[in-house]
Every structure is written in C-alpha cells, then in structure tokens.
Amino acid sequence: MYIDKKCDRSYDDILDRIKRVHFIGIGGSGMCPLAEILISKGYSVSGSDMNDGDTLQRIIGYGVPVFMGHKAENIEGAELVVYTAAVKQDNPELVAAREKGIPAIERSVMLGILARRFKNAVAVSGTHGKTTTTAMLSQVLIGSKFEPTAVIGGKLPAIGGNSYVGDSEIMVCEACEYVDSFLQITPAVAVILNVDADHLDYFENLDNIKKSFRKFLAQTSDAAVVNGDDKNTLDCVNDSPVPVITFGFGEENDYRAVMTSPETTVYDAFDLYHKSEKLCNIELSVPGKHNVYNALAAAAAAHYLGVKADDIAKNLHEFKGVHRRFEILGKHGGVTIADDFAHHPTEIKAALTAAMNMGFRKVWNVFQPHTFSRTAMLLDDFADALSIVDEAVILEILPVREVNTYNIYNTDLGKKVSGSKCIDTFEEAAKYVCDNAQDGDLILTMGGGNVYMCANLINKMLAEKAGE
C-alpha cells in the first residue's frame, strides 16, 4: 500500500555518538558497501547472515566477526543495528535490539545518513538502469582519479566488487524507488534515468510513482540530471527547485548523443554533444540503445562534477558491464550463454532488442517472472517484450515477498507468447535449450531472481556437451 513517506533524519548525528555497528544481513549487495564505508571510517562492525557468498567473504576478509544465522546474542556490544528491508520484524536480533533499547534502522536510512556526510552526493534513480549507470559513473570517476565513494547494486569488475571507498567529497549511490526507499537520501545531484509503471503492489499507479519522484527531486540541493526524452520524467521536473540538466537523443537536450554506429545494429558508438559543442566520441563496450542512455546520464553527471571529456570517453569505453547485466558467461560448441537482471517489460524489451541485433543465428530467452503482482499487472507488456526473440522459455513465477492472490501462472504468460514453452524447473529448462540450441545461437537467461543458477547450469551442460 502506498504511504506518503518522508525522510527520517532523526538519526543523522548517531554516527557521532557511537562506534560499534551490527548489520543484520551484512552479506547483501546493499549492506556490504555500507559496512565497508564504516570500516574505512574506523567504526567497529559485526554482522550476521543466513547465506554465504562473495560479498560475505569480502566482509570477513576485513576481520569482521560474522555470524551465520540470526540469534539474539549476535548483537552483543552493538550501539546501532542496521537491517535490510528483507528482515522481518520478528527477527531475533531485531527483537533483541528493541528490548535492549539499541537503535535499529533500515538500510535505506543508513544510506541517507552516510550520503549526507558527503558534499557532492550523487543519487542515481529511475525505474530502469540504476545499477549500470551507477557503475558507469563510478568507473569514470575512479578512472579519472576523482576518488569517489561508491555504492553499487551489482559487482563492477573494474573494482572487483560493488563498493569503493575514496577520500574525496563525492559519493555515488543507487536510489531505489521501491517502498520509497530513495526518499531517505537528500543528494546534491539527483539523476533520474526514466519513470515507468513498476512496483504497482506498492505504488498502485503511475501517478503515485511520479509523486514520489517529485518528492525525491524536492530533497535535492544542487542539480538534477534527467532523461529529456522521457515524458514521465519531464512531468516530474516541471517545477524543479534545482537546475535541470537534460540528456537524450533529442536536439533540445543539454547533453545528447549523435550516433556514429549504425542505429539498426548495436548502438555502441556516438558523438557526445554538450549543447552545440561536440565534446568527444564515445565507443561503448556494452550494446543497446538503453546503454547509450545510461552512458549519457553518467557522462552528464561526470561532466557536471568536472571530469574532462576525454576521460569520460576513455573510461566509458573501458566499462565492460556489471554482474548480471548482459553478462557473458561462456561460449561452448558455438553457443553463447549470457545472463541479465531485467525483470520489467521495458528492460526486457531493451535487452532483447539489443540481443536480436547482435548477429546471432537465433536468440533463446529463458525468462523467470519476478513477483505475481508485476506479472499480473503487466502481463500484456511482458508478452510483447518476450515475443521479440526467436525462442522463449518461461519459468515458474518467483514469489519473492508475495502469495499468489492474483491466480497468475507462467502458463498465462505463455499463452500470449506465440511458440513459447513453459517449463517449471531449472534442470528441465537447461536440458531443453542445451538439446536444441545450435552453433551461432545465444541463450540469454533473464529475471530479477535466482535464474542465474539456471544460466550456470546451462553453461556447465554446454561445456560438457562440447567435451570441455
């Protein structure tokens, strides 16, 4: 249910009064960077998690005490507890914190507290493209020796993780709109990539989404960098309290792309203009028109912060992508395997359009729908997007935080996608595509859940089939 939320600033000075912080779910991609920032600032950190993984091992590598599983005694000695949105209110560590009178704040509140400690905090928002754009901007700033602190929603190969702790006054972070988490951030620069109908289980309608983005913009102090080609975004910035810098393909934008690669193929090279001045030519190493928009946003924000055009071009060219964003996992027997996080029809359409223009003999899409509400509310849009590819395999809907009160199933989507095949398990789906894909094909797994496990299985099966 949509709630008219506001920024919680009641804990803004808490880091001046404490030294020991405990993270519930410390291995999460959103929690690990915050822990790293505090560690770098000299705080004593501990944490707990239910699952092992790369991010958890990264934290353990700092000498941080990490407990597997959640128990009340894990918070012993903590002066502040930070928890993820996924943590339920009856979590024993959260209950213990309340019983002991230890302040407990949600991850988005901590992100806001940290961001306000940087003079130039850049918050990257939008329905689609946040992780890629945050990663692009971070790589440009790091590669240009601007030494930002970065909080990224996915692993950036250039830094070997999803966070970076620099010594400047610049911080770059993702600002997620779901349940209005981004309203906890009061940035100097707000980037709005696009505004689309999503998370309707919370927002209910597009008007409420726009309302939240307007509130986010109202909390911004210096400038807004926004997609000037997106009508919904422009609707949100009509009465902006800060200067608006636009990017896009249209000539009216402050920063615009003039394509120098064929627009009918991969959209990977363009001239970057600032108003009437050509700044540089940018050759991207990631495909798709959507990535041109992401690169434009990163370039505009970087240029605003003082990065030279040549440095922007160099570092955007060196950007090879983010974990689970059209990530190539392997090639066996002439078949390429890739995985992508796309889980909204707009994202899916962008990624599949790029894939279809890359010259593969045939593109196979193994799609895992993410949440019953999104699938039910955007069913026709999903069908249109999945119809782009040569072969669509539709897995069971991942429930995430929901129960199926919508009475929606993968077969409902399958009926609307001609020639598609509905398969429930990863094992069956992997066997099906491995048995049928041929030399020159691309198999692209897609979804916001754990479909990457299916991708890894496909990669393994094809390697074995090829005798590797």
**Which of 8-17, 77-86, 321-330, 440-449 is the least confident region?**
321-330
> Which carries the bigger pLDDT value, residue 6 or residue 23?
23
pLDDT for 271-321, tens place per residue? 999 999 999 999 998 888 889 999 999 999 999 999 999 999 999 999 988
Q: What is the pLDDT of residue 263?
A: 59
Q: How many CB atoms lie within 10 A of CB 98?
A: 12
DSSP secondary structure string, 261-295?
Answer: S-TTTT--EEEEEETTEEEEEEE-SS-SHHHHHHH
Q: Which pLDDT tens digit goes with each residue over 232-245?
A: 999 999 989 999 99
Mean pLDDT on 132-152: 97
Assess whether pLDDT exceeds 90 at residue 52: no
**What was the pLDDT predicted at 155?**
82
396 is catalytic: no
With 0-12 / 13-18 / 19 or more C-beta atoms within 10 angstroms meaning exposed / middle / buried, residue 239 is exposed
For residue 4, the tally of other CB atoms under 10 A from its CB is 10
Q: Does residue 247 register a pLDDT over 90?
A: yes
Question: Closest by alpha carbon to 59, among 82, 79, 92?
Answer: 82
**Contact call for residues 37 and 163 (beta carbons, < 8 A):** yes
The amino acid present at 324, given as its one-letter code, is R
Give 48's strand partners.
24, 67
What SS3 state is found at 182? helix
- Cα–Cα distances (Å) from 418 to 323, 356, 391, 394, 430, in that order, read 31, 17, 9, 12, 20
SS3 content of the chain, % helix, strand, coil (to 5): 35, 25, 40
pLDDT at 264 over 70: no
Whole-number average pLDDT of the chain: 92
- Write down the pLDDT at residue 178: 81
Please state which of the ranges 41-50, 238-247, 266-275 shows the lowest mean pLDDT. 266-275
Does the pLDDT of residue 358 top 80, yes or no? yes
Catalytic residue among 84, 130, 149, 220: 130
For the chain, percent of residues with pLDDT exceeding 90: 74
- Euclidean distance between CA atoms 445 and 228, whole angstroms: 31
Residue 413 has pLDDT above 90, yes or no: yes
User: Two tokens at 218?
Assistant: 């109202």
Q: Catalytic residue, from 55, 84, 127, 131: name it.
A: 131
**78, 140, 434: which is closest to 306 by C-alpha?**
140
Amino acid at 36: E
160 three-class SS: coil
Buried b (16+ CB within 10 A) or exposed e, 263-279: eeebbbbbebbbeeeeb
| pLDDT value of position 262 | 67
Contacts 24+ apart (CB under 8 A), 355-359: 355/326, 355/389, 355/442, 355/444, 356/388, 356/389, 357/264, 357/265, 357/266, 357/287, 358/265, 358/266, 358/287, 358/442
Q: Which two tokens stand for residue 404?
A: 């199926």
Over its C-alpha atoms, the chain yields an Rg (Å, rounded) of 22
pLDDT at 127 over 70: yes
Q: How far apart are CA 383 and CA 380, in angstroms?
A: 5
Tokens of 225: 């960098």
Respond yes or no: is residue 131 known to be catalytic: yes
Residue 291 Cα to chain centre, angstroms:
13
Find the helix or strand (DSSP H, E) in which 255 lies. strand 255-259
List, for residues 54-90, the tens digit of each pLDDT value: 788 889 999 999 999 999 999 999 999 999 887 889 9
At 102-122, the pLDDT tens digits run: 999 999 999 999 999 999 999
Predicted pLDDT of residue 1: 65
Helix/strand/coil (H, E, C) string of 205-254?
A: CHHHHHHHHHHHHHCCCCEEEEECCCHHHHHHCCCCCCCEEEEECCCCCC
Confidence of residue 467 (pLDDT cuts 50, 70, 90): confident
> Of 406, 434, 410, which Cα lies nearest the Cα of 421?
410
Model confidence, pTM: 0.82
What would the pLDDT profile of 170-226 be if each residue is shown by its tens digit? 999 999 888 889 999 999 999 999 998 777 777 789 899 999 999 999 999 999 999
Whether 190 and 125 have beta carbons less than 8 Å apart is answered as: yes
Q: Considering the chain, what percentage of its residues have pLDDT values greater than 70?
A: 98
Single-letter amino acid code for the residue at 151: V
